């Protein structure tokens, strides 16, 4: 009785759209803002949202998606914790006639028919912006004055699109400056605690760290704790570049503890609900929707903070 591509169960009675959303977890300030945005916008759009938190585990996300298929929701959306390993469960959704919209993170698949649209940031561009700022400010970045800029990198969750792409984008730009190199690189799982622990280890193992490049604010904030505990001044003795621009990150930037932040917008809820409605109505939607984003220096952070939403 309903449109060809919507599920046929949950919305059959009163026209209410049911969405199953499998969230990555609650690992960062970005994720908290993202979850709130999705929940608030579903309510505003009158969409019945089933929401699960996978605690950064792919098997939990797959379980959640299977349960949404079983409940015959109208549309499934999720932010894949890692890029690979989704084909089987997405085939099941396809067989059940339930459209899938990816948000935030992409999947790596050969079969384009497994999802209708992907809404999220360009993570390679974010890494490039971080690298470009470092290259442009290289004159101030050789903190220990040994002629080389030694960067340590705090990577996001291993296998996650933003970790892979932010590394790639950054590396492709710093290549142009032979004085810049990445001396050590390890995952901090996008968490504050992870960033702190990895930075503690780097401070022991690495000589002459000039710059920290953290794939998100939370790991950068953890690194700040480790740097301060070692008796050094973050933002001065060690320069810090991060990605996200959530409130705690922006506050540290305005306070001079972080030197530069590349923005990644978590407020994907309104656009997601819009896409879902269109898909259910049988309208054409773009395969890829890229979020618009900016960057912040310390001065710009101080200016933006009072009106920042998250
Ligand atoms: O940058 C990080 C979060 O996928 C863009 O995941 C997201 C990233 C975000 O944990 O803070």
CA of 99 relative to ligand 1 center, distance in Å: 24
Position 15 scores a pLDDT of 85
Q: Please determine, for residue 8, whether its predicted confidence score (pLDDT) is greater than 90.
A: no
Average pLDDT of span 282-291: 96
CA of 216 relative to ligand 1 center, distance in Å: 7
C-alpha pair distances (Å), 171 with each of 108, 148, 174, 194, 295: 21, 16, 5, 22, 18
Q: What is the pTM of this model?
A: 0.94
Place of tokens 């609650």: 26
pLDDT digits over 84-118, tens only?
A: 999 999 999 999 999 999 999 999 999 999 999 99
Position 9 scores a pLDDT of 46
Nearest ligand 1 atom to alpha carbon 191: 10
Nearest ligand 1 atom to alpha carbon 215: 1
Residue nearest to atom 8 of ligand 1 (CA): 162
Q: Please determine, for residue 265, whether its predicted confidence score (pLDDT) is greater than 50.
A: yes
Position 13 scores a pLDDT of 62
Position 14 scores a pLDDT of 79
CA of 236 relative to ligand 1 center, distance in Å: 26
Q: Is the CB of 165 under 6 A from ligand 1?
A: no
Q: Please determine, for residue 74, whether its predicted confidence score (pLDDT) is greater than 80.
A: yes
How high is the ipTM of this complex? 0.98
Q: Please determine, for residue 176, whether its predicted confidence score (pLDDT) is greater than 50.
A: yes
The percentage of residues in the chain with a pLDDT greater than 90, rounded to a whole number, is: 95
Average pLDDT, the chain: 95
CA of 76 relative to ligand 1 center, distance in Å: 20
Position 26 scores a pLDDT of 97
Nearest ligand 1 atom to alpha carbon 25: 10
Length of the chain as a residue count: 310
Average pLDDT of span 109-130: 97
Q: Is the CB of 216 under 6 A from ligand 1?
A: yes
Q: Is the CB of 189 under 6 A from ligand 1?
A: no
Q: Is the CB of 244 under 6 A from ligand 1?
A: yes
Q: Is the CB of 161 under 6 A from ligand 1?
A: no
Q: Please determine, for residue 2, whether its predicted confidence score (pLDDT) is greater than 80.
A: no
Q: Is the CB of 83 under 6 A from ligand 1?
A: no
pLDDT digits over 49-69, tens only?
A: 999 999 999 999 999 999 999
Cα(4)–Cα(97) distance, integer angstroms? 8
CA of 31 relative to ligand 1 center, distance in Å: 6
CA of 90 relative to ligand 1 center, distance in Å: 22
The percentage of residues in the chain with a pLDDT greater than 70, rounded to a whole number, is: 96
Q: Please determine, for residue 24, whether its predicted confidence score (pLDDT) is greater than 80.
A: yes
Q: Please determine, for residue 10, whether its predicted confidence score (pLDDT) is greater than 60.
A: no
């Amino acid at each position: 009785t309903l449109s060809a591509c919507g599920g046929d169960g949950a919305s059959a009675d009163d026209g209410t759209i049911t969405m199953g959303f499998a969230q990555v977890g609650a690992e960062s300030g970005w994720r908290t803002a993202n979850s709130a945005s999705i929940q608030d916008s579903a309510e505003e759009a009158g969409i019945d949202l089933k929401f699960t938190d996978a605690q950064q585990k792919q098997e939990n996300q797959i379980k959640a998606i299977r349960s949404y298929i079983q409940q015959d929701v109208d549309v499934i959306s999720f932010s894949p914790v890692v890029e690979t390993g989704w084909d089987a469960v997405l085939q099941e959704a396809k067989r059940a006639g339930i459209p899938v919209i990816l948000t935030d993170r992409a999947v790596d698949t050969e079969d384009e028919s497994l999802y209708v649209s992907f809404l999220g940031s360009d993570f390679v561009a974010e890494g490039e912006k971080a690298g470009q700022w470092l290259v442009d400010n290289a004159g101030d970045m050789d903190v220990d004055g040994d002629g080389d800029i030694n960067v340590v990198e705090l990577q996001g969750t291993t296998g996650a699109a933003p970790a892979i792409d932010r590394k790639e984008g950054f590396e492709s730009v710093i290549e142009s400056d032979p004085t810049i190199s990445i001396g050590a690189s390890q995952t901090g799982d996008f968490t504050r605690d992870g960033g702190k622990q990895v930075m503690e280890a780097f401070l022991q193992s690495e000589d002459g760290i000039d710059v920290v490049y953290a794939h998100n604010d939370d790991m950068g904030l953890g690194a700040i704790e480790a740097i301060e505990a070692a008796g050094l001044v973050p933002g001065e003795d060690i320069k810090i570049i991060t990605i996200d621009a959530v409130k705690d990150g922006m506050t540290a930037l305005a306070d001079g503890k972080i030197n530069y932040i590349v923005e990644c917008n978590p407020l994907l809820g309104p656009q997601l609900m819009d896409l879902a409605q269109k898909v259910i109505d049988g309208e054409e939607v773009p395969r890829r929707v890229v979020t618009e984003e900016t960057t912040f220096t310390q001065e710009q952070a101080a200016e933006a903070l009072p009106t920042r939403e998250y």
